[in-house]
A and B are shown apart, each in its own frame.
Chain A
Amino acid sequence: MYVAVKGGERAIDAAHAWLAEERRGDPAIPELSVAQIRSQLTLAVNRVMTEGALYDPDLAALAIKQARGDLIEAIFLLRAYRTTLPRLGTSQPLETAKMQVSRRISATFKDLPGGQVLGPTFDYTHRLLDFALMAEGEMPAAPTAPVRDDPVPHVMGLLDRDGLIEPAPEGGTPADLTRAPLEFPADRALRLQSIARGDEGFLLGLAYSTQRGYGRTHAFVGELRIGTVAVEMEIPELGFAVEIGEIEVSECETVNQFKGSKTEPPQFTRGYGLVFGQNERKALSVSLVDRALRWQELGEDFVGAPAQDEEFVLSHCDNVQATGFLEHIKLPHYVDFQAELELIRRLRREALQEAAE
């Protein structure tokens, strides 16, 4: 059976026009500029860049404006835009040890070279609504202190020196899920790419589940650092690498208990997360999930926890894929449903007939 589905065009045009009007809101109130979103809703911009897997604060801010603040819609817009761009190259791996840090803390070592730098954090705020923000006004300038030029080494290096923690893995050219379809089993590099762009809420839930006992890994934050790093790329026509820009990233390394295995002595193991922008909840979640997914490599038991199941995690963490499939069920399924309806009617007819006999 064929059901003609036409005639929605005028209605769709009108819906788009109304959407544009609703996006603008009350014309008596000044319009929000992309620059305002970029500089004042920075953490939303960071989330859209991370999950959109495209670093460009202007575009992310535009996407947020266009999506009326629906961040998953904004991420979708950014991903769609990305597909129109040619790939110009691949950067050298970031040297996060050379990061200009705005925040750098360790929950495992109190006194560490480079110190504990709190940065612009919510951590010690009282979570009381600040009604002063309802009025516009001048901010007092943030205090400054003399800059000390001591190096800020990775905390893990301190443990590594004593052999108390597994070394960071070495490896060759990593796979790229934007170039080749994701296949299982996925190696750690591919998993990190996948969960870095995964939904923050989904990963937060999974990370929390490991803390509550579903694949427990006893994570401590070895180090969390946020700041800017240079991005360098080898330019073929030059024959050397140059800096092509500077990006803000959040990096988290967890230290996890490990009893040892047949081949490994007892030592600490690591989880790792690296994401765009100041985005520490996401970086932490990624590190916990990264560690949970490593059970096989470390010879741990699979206890059936969702966070250990790489196919479950990687296949469901992408919110653009998830929302696309979820939301498609509201689009016309008239033919499918017609078939279901006829099937039910036939089954009922048959059941009634049988009962009558």
Chain B
Amino acid sequence: MSALTGGFTSPAPQAARAFRLALMALSRPGRIETVSGATGPAPLSAAAATLLLVLADRDTPIFLGAGHDGTDVREWIAFHIGAPLVPPEAAMLAVGTWPDLPLSRFPIGLPDYPDRSATLIVESPAISAEGPRLTGPGIAGEARLSLPEVNAFRANRMLYPQGLDFFFTAGDRLAALPRSTQVESA
């Protein structure tokens, strides 16, 4: 494993397929997808590495949580993406474990431009369809997802249409929670 390996071998179809799956996860909150294509250096999961390649380019400032911020990951991002690494306040995308992501410091967008907000990739020990109850757009009835907590997501929902969007990654699995989803304790 080096900084120069682990990118897409066939960028166009692999990126299109992974992007489609990420979109499915985001538009169907709670749905778990399996993605592949990229392999990043530890501790980056395959799903997070693939998401980075799909969502980021050199115009996407990225924040790395403390556990992910090492030479290997930095060099991998420099070669495969070329994105600048920035503090949370300037980030459009962030990767890290839940405790490593300082939620209050990320941009939540402006009333006129709610899209100028950050998307957080939360590296998780595991993802399963159990736990807090999700309702809202894209969910038929209700869904369940193993979230690290409830209050942070309830507070985020209150900011709508501003706010943060989340991906959760574990191994090659990912799920997503957009700002439009209501979260309640199980």
A residues with a Cβ closer than 8 A to B are: 86-89, 179, 236-237
Contact = CB atoms under 8 A, between A and B. Distances in A.
Contacts of B79: 236-237
A89 B59 CA distance: 9
A236 B82 contact: yes
B86 interface: no
B3 A237 contact: yes
B20 interface: no
Contacts of B89: none
Nearest to A239: B78
Contacts of B4: 237
A86 B57 contact: yes
A237 B78 contact: yes
Given A87-B58, A236-B82, A237-B78, 13 more contacts: A86-B57, A87-B57, A87-B59, A88-B58, A88-B82, A89-B58, A89-B82, A179-B59, A236-B78, A236-B79, A237-B3, A237-B4, A237-B79
Contacts of A89: 58, 82
Contacts of B58: 87-89
Contacts of A179: 59
Interface of B: 3-4, 57-59, 78-79, 82
B58 to A, nearest CB: 6
A356 to B, nearest CB: 52
A interface SS class: loop
Task: Rank and list the top 4 A-B pairs by shortest CB-CB distance, nearest first.
Answer: A236-B78, A237-B79, A179-B59, A236-B82
16 contacts: A86-B57, A87-B57, A87-B58, A87-B59, A88-B58, A88-B82, A89-B58, A89-B82, A179-B59, A236-B78, A236-B79, A236-B82, A237-B3, A237-B4, A237-B78, A237-B79
A87 B59 CA distance: 9
Nearest to A179: B59
A310 to B, nearest CB: 22
Nearest to A90: B58
- The residue in B3, B4, B58 that gathers the most chain A C-beta atoms within 10 A of its C-beta is B58
B41 to A, nearest CB: 15
- The residue in B4, B57, B79, B82 that gathers the most chain A C-beta atoms within 10 A of its C-beta is B82
A88 B79 CA distance: 11
A177 B59 CA distance: 13
A179 B59 CA distance: 8
B115 to A, nearest CB: 12
A236 B82 CA distance: 7
Contacts of B57: 86-87
A350 to B, nearest CB: 41
A254 B27 CA distance: 55
- The residue in A86, A87, A88, A236 that gathers the most chain B C-beta atoms within 10 A of its C-beta is A236
A328 to B, nearest CB: 26
Nearest to A181: B113
Nearest to B78: A236
Contacts of A86: 57
A303 B4 CA distance: 58
Nearest to B3: A237
B90 to A, nearest CB: 13
A166 B79 CA distance: 41
Contacts of B59: 87, 179
Contacts of A236: 78-79, 82
Nearest to B4: A237
Nearest to B82: A236
Contacts of A237: 3-4, 78-79
